[in-house]
Amino acid sequence: MCGIVGAIGNLDYKTYLTSGLKKLDYRGYDSAGLAFWNKGKISLYRAVGSVENLASIVPDGHAGTAGIAHTRWATHGGVTVENAHPQRSWDKKVYLVHNGVIDNYKELKEWLSGMGCQFRSDTDTEVIASVIAYFLQEGETPLDAIRKAMEKLDGSYALAILFTGQEGLYFAKNKSPLVLGRGDTRINCLASDYAPILDYCSNFAALDDGTYGYMTENSIVAYRNGKNLALRFASKDKEDYVYDLAGYPHFMMKEIHEGAHVVRKNVETYFDREKKVYLFDPQLLASLKAADEVVFLGCGSSHYSSEAAAAYFNRHGLRATSYIASEWIHGVYPHLKNPYYVLISQSGETADLISCLDMMEKGTKTLGIVNAKDSTIARRSGHVLYIGAGLEVAVASTKSFLGQMALMMLLCGAVNGDTSVPDSLLEAAKAVDDVVGRRADIDAIAEGIVEVHDAFFVGRGMDFFAGEESSLKLKEISYVHSESYPGGELKHGPIALIEEGTPVFAFVGNPEISKQIRSNVEELKARGAVAYIVSSESCAKEGDAFVYRYVEGDFAPYPEVAFGQLLSYYLSLRRGLNVDKPRNLAKSVTVN
Ligand code: F6R
């Protein structure tokens, strides 16, 4: 987590750095800070909370010819000004911002303390600054001090570094993402992702692990293992990074509105409707077909979308399983002879998934299904497919979830030669739009449960996965404790939690199993639950709380998840919470 941004050259640094941080605050928003370099001197500003808090203490028109900034998701040390970045070395020679975690920072801190070095913060980051400063004191150049520090550091880091009295913006990268941008007009930039630097640069390079170097306003020099490295710079499509509320009150609402469009876009990208042929690489399809199992790996919402996809693959005769990435690495799953691993990630930077890639033997077949272009998972997977959802800013994923499901279902259709999937997806997209158009009805339901402490989601078959995703949304943005169960499972234990007035949302999207789920709802009502049945037109009954436009049973999760997203949104709003930036979370989870 944490976002970093920096630049060197002729810029209005306050504007560049604070607006850059706003584009990165999906990576954390506990505190923010920045440092300007001016004629060898460095000025430091840090504030707890939002980037606006930081902006209010930074003087306008501050002169500077280089700057670095950081938005924090706290790992080591509480949310205080002292723990905010930039951190500096004890001798104030080295100032740096850091995204990542240093595993051996305690040993390094002891080593430096033993030599009289004093620390002001609880962070692992301050230790990095001081290790670099130690090597400077030993007579190393800044670049060699960084290289030697990298040899001492265990863990993940993207670093932007300024030195007192020494021109240049320095950088180093291991496991955490860092991209560089070359400007046309004597400016060079760096950041955790492309969004903050797109307007300032024309060519970009994502760094590989072990890279370090420095930039001046005219040049960028990079090294690995002491050897000069030729970076490959390329242009970027700005469309992929549009950061704009477009008149919506929150990014989450905007992104919910874009959900159906993302489903359609995947159909357009991966299927030629005129010729009725899929546009996936035939070799990829052949490998997927030949695999003894397709193994989906993901976290959070991306895990839930892949659970739905695995079930869909199974229902269509393909062997597939879905695992939580942070559990898969512990190896408690069967050893397969010829697996095909599919890594699902919106950000493409999720550390738990990257750990899966780290564990895989060379030659393992991997496909990344990713939203963020050129992200680590996109670059490191053997094959990559993009969901093309565009920038997703709200911490809770919405449109990307629908895009992931759509792409995986298209892939299943392509492997099986089933050309009916795209049409079903287009119907599902219409149903999503219809749900979004009736959002006032969902707000009215949210109004009735504003005071609740617990909620349940139930469903059977594909509907169950919509319940899981909706339950996660409710937890993360409305802070209501929520559980999701297959309809038949409650009576094996969790039904003990049902009290007078407990809200239960039941998804009923498949006429074949609607009888069973409705009888589960009766069991819950008999124990005092207030049931809200969300049903498809194909199985609606009088008294259902919300009936959505008909879609085939397998595609019911699309409108159902849209319902869950809107319910969570309105509940969060009605409870006076920060919809786009819920507490304790960050969008890109770059620590294990
Ligand atoms: C939930 C949410 C998270 C992410 C999870 C994986 O709304 O956003 O659960 O789905 O952190 O992130 P990605 O997809 O970026 O790997």
Per residue in 419-434, pLDDT tens? 999 999 999 999 999 9
Q: What is the DSSP letter of 234?
A: B
Ligand 1 within 6 A of 347 CB? yes
Q: Do both 420 and 308 map to the same domain?
A: yes
Residues 107 and 209 in one domain: yes
Q: Is residue 178 part of a domain?
A: yes
- The CA 375 to ligand 1 mean position distance, Å, reads 15
pLDDT of residue 364: 94
Tell me the CA distances in angstroms from 370 to 70, 75, 234, 348, 501, one per residue in order: 25, 26, 20, 6, 40
For ligand 1, the distance from its centroid to the CA atom of residue 547, given in whole angstroms, is 28
Whether residues 230 and 252 fall in one domain: no
Most informative mutation of 306, 376, 397, 589 for ligand 1 (most atoms within 8 A of CB): 397
The response to whether residue 297 sits with its C-beta less than 6 Å from ligand 1 reads no
Whether 201 is a known active-site residue: answer no
Residues 500 and 411 both lie in one domain: no
DSSP code at position 494: G
- Which residue, 383, 417, 433, sits at the end of a domain? 433
Residue 592 lies inside a defined structural domain of this protein? no
Reading the block at residue 129, the tokens are 């600054």
Q: How far is the CA of 370 from the centre of ligand 1 (A)?
A: 11
Query: What is residue 363's DSSP assignment?
Result: T
Q: Are strands 339-345 and 365-370 parallel, antiparallel or unpaired?
A: parallel
Q: With respect to residue 117, please indicate whether it lies within any of the assigned structural domains.
A: yes
Is 591 domain-assigned? no
Same domain? For 392 and 475 the reply is no
Ligand 1 in contact with 255 (CB < 6 A)?
A: no
Q: Give every CB contact of residue 38 below 8 A, 6+ residues apart in sequence.
A: 62, 63, 64, 65
- Residue 416 sits at the vertex; the CA angle it makes with 413 and 421, to the nearest 5 degrees, is 20
Asked whether residue 588 is assigned to any structural domain, the reply reads no
Q: Which ligand 1 atom sits closest to the C-alpha of 300?
A: 9
Clarify whether residues 133 and 119 are in a common domain: yes
CATH number at 90 reads 3.60.20.10
The torsion defined by the Cα of 542, 546, 552 and 555, in degrees rounded to 10, comes to -160
476 lines ligand 1 (CB under 6 A): yes
523 with 542, same domain: the answer is yes
Position 44 in a domain: yes
Candidates 93, 173, 581, 587; catalytic one: 587
Q: Which residues of the chain have pLDDT under 50?
A: none
Q: Does ligand 1 lie within 6 Å of residue 301's CB atom?
A: yes
**Nearest Cα residue to 182 out of 218, 229, 230, 128:** 218
Residue 243 has what pLDDT? 84
> What is the C-alpha separation between 547 and 539, in angstroms, rounded?
9
Looking at the fold, whether 571 and 456 belong to one and the same domain comes out as yes
Q: What is the CATH number of the domain that holds 367?
A: 3.40.50.10490
Q: Is residue 574 part of a domain?
A: yes
Interatomic CA distance for residues 464 and 442, integer angstroms: 20
- The domain total for the chain is 3
Question: Domain end: 178, 202, 237, which one?
Answer: 237
Residue 589 lies in a domain: no
Supply the residue whose CA is at minimum distance from atom 7 of ligand 1: 396
Q: Which of 2, 117, 189, 356 is catalytic?
A: 2
- Same domain for 392 and 444, yes or no, is no
The rounded Å distance from CA 493 to ligand 1 centre is 29
520 CB near ligand 1 (under 6 Å):
no
Shared domain for 315 and 448, answered yes or no, is no
pLDDT at residue 328, as a whole number: 94
pLDDT tens readout for residues 114-130: 999 999 999 999 999 99
Domain interval for residue 368: 244-433
First to last CA, the chain: 10
Q: What share of the chain is helix, strand, coil (3-state, %, to 5)?
A: 40, 25, 35
Which of 433, 457, 485 lies at the terminal end of a domain, its last residue?
433
- 193 touches ligand 1 (CB under 6 Å): no
My answer on whether 22 and 80 are in the same domain is: yes
Q: Determine the pLDDT at residue 135.
A: 98
Ligand 1 centroid, distance to 300 Cα (angstroms): 5
Q: For the chain, how many residues are written?
A: 592
Cis peptide leading into residue 557 (ω within 30°): no
Question: Which residue blocks in 226-338 are alpha helix, DSSP H?
Answer: 251-257, 259-270, 282-290, 300-315, 325-328
For residues 99 and 168, state if they share a domain.
Answer: yes
